[in-house]
Amino acid sequence: MTFTEAIAQFSPALPLAVAYSGGADSSALLLACARQWPGQVSALHVHHGLQAAADEFVRHCQAACARWQVPLVIAQVDARAQPGDSPEDAARRARYKAFAALTQTGQALATVKNMALAQHADDQLETLLLALSRGAGLPGLAAMPQRWQRDGLTYHRPLLAVPGAEVRAWLSAQGEAAIEDPTNQDLRYTRNRIRQQLLPQLMQVFPQARETFARSSRHAAQAQVLLLEMAQQDLAQVGMPPAIAALQILSQARQANVLRHWLTSACSTTPSAAQLDELLAQVQACTTRGHAIHIKVGAGFVQRNGALLGYQVSPAR
């Protein structure tokens, strides 16, 4: 799909905000949307406070938005990662928190309920390869959704079927320049190694990889929807919190599915594969009154409370 086709097919509710970093992808998306819906589009730039060039990014975005006559809102966040946390994940969480805060309480974006993000087909392929490298399950293999809701906002990724080179070529044809984040060249980040070293080789061997891998992600997303529906039905049967005897009636695959759903939806934690395997083994072995279950998961413990499983968050030190 071409960039122009993707924009023509994009039909969000207005007014619309565009997440704008100043890079080529978000610049192209913002400019195209501003031309498509004059006076109905605003830009949201997040200053992460992670590098000296961040102030220059802000100045670039201010100049571009003034030239395009697009209102710009700047959010400054502390996106520093905590020990053991991924810098990319920490920055992503800070961005979404800023998006939600500014559209819920900021006067400039108070009426905005739809936001567009500029990830494209190459980003989608990178995300899938990252998920594969980490041994992800279906949620990870589904990669990035094209449309979803979070914190009262509807998010859109209208460019997921457009190659990155097509996006940048469109921007260049408009005579517009963009900034280049220096961290994009830092090979300490796995995503950058995939982009610079793995993808060129992959595309040589599989020229249709963007389309075929994206199709696999769509299949994974559909399968995940079915698993979620089954988990919701099973959780209604085993109870909240789950009854151990009711869990034992289910197949091990359905036990794993419903326990993962219970922990993520009701306990706000996600078990690792090893933790979930241990929990399944303990549920299976729990046939006497004296059998104790006490397994570390996330920031707390899954434990047996009589006939039920419970989750206890560890007290803060």
pTM of this structure: 0.83
Range of the domain at 247: 239-313
Residues 64 and 200 in one domain: yes
> What pLDDT does 70 receive?
95
Under the banding of pLDDT at 50, 70 and 90, the label for residue 10 is very high
Residues 8 and 109 in one domain: yes
pLDDT tens, residue by residue, 47-83: 766 566 778 889 999 999 999 999 998 887 665 555 5
pLDDT tens, residue by residue, 127-182: 999 999 988 889 899 999 999 988 888 999 999 999 999 999 999 999 998 988 87
DSSP letters for 225-259: HHHHHHHHHHHHHHTTTTBHHHHHHS-HHHHHHHH
pLDDT at 268 over 60: yes
> What pLDDT does 91 receive?
67
Mean of pLDDT over the chain:
89
pLDDT tens, residue by residue, 28-41: 999 999 999 999 99
217 within some domain? no
pLDDT at 316 over 60: no
The order of strands in the sheet holding 16-19 is 72-76, 41-47, 16-19, 114-116, 153-156, 147-150
219 within some domain? no
pLDDT at 85 over 80: no
> What pLDDT does 121 receive?
95
291 within some domain? yes
Residues 9 and 155 in one domain: yes
- Of the candidates 164, 210, 124, the one whose C-alpha atom is nearest the C-alpha of residue 29 is 164
State the CATH number of the domain containing residue 159: 3.40.50.620
pLDDT tens, residue by residue, 98-111: 777 766 655 556 67
> What pLDDT does 50 receive?
59
Residues 54 and 198 in one domain: yes
58 within some domain? yes
For the chain, percent of residues with pLDDT exceeding 90 = 69
Q: Token pair for residue 158?
A: 């209208």
207 within some domain? yes
Name residue 25's amino acid: D
Q: Is 111 helix (H, G, I), strand (E, B) or coil?
A: coil
Residues 244 and 191 in one domain: no
Q: How many domains does the chain have?
A: 2
The answer to whether 198 and 129 are in contact (CB under 8 A) is yes
Burial (CB count within 10 angstroms: exposed 0-12, middle 13-18, buried 19+), residue 114: middle
83 within some domain? yes
Residue whose token pair is 């996006």? 167
